[in-house]
Amino acid sequence: MLFDWNLLSVSFITVFLSELGDKSQLAAIALGGSSSSPKAVFLGTASALVLASFLGVLLGEGTAQILPEQLVKGVAAIGFALLAMRLLWPDTEI
């Protein structure tokens, strides 16, 4: 089994960019600024992200075994479209 470096880089870039400026990063900034041990904050936040990503991969793998790929992509596309509409028109009820 060869290691897929392209998939690794795409996964890294996607997660890295999506995590920039989100609430977990703001929480890490707040904890790091008020803590006497920033290394512990780093290890705690990094391990939490690794665990959350691991659970997401397991859920995605399990979903892929049960549901057709096109259905999963369609549901994800509709979900993202609904989120985008909610962000663009916050006063509307969706």
pTM here is 0.66
- Encode pLDDT of 37-89 as tens digits: 999 999 999 999 999 999 999 998 898 899 998 998 899 899 999 999 988 88
Q: Is 87 helix (H, G, I), strand (E, B) or coil?
A: helix
- Residue 40: which domain range? 7-67
Query: Is residue 51 in a domain?
Result: yes
Asked if residues 31 and 41 have their Cβ atoms less than 8 Å apart, the reply is yes
Q: Which residues contact 25 (CB under 8 A, 6 or more apart)?
A: 19
Domain count, the chain: 1
Is 25 among the domain residues? yes
Q: Which residue's entry shows tokens 């920039």? A: 20
Is 36 contained in some domain? yes
Q: What residue type is assigned to position 19 of the chain?
A: E
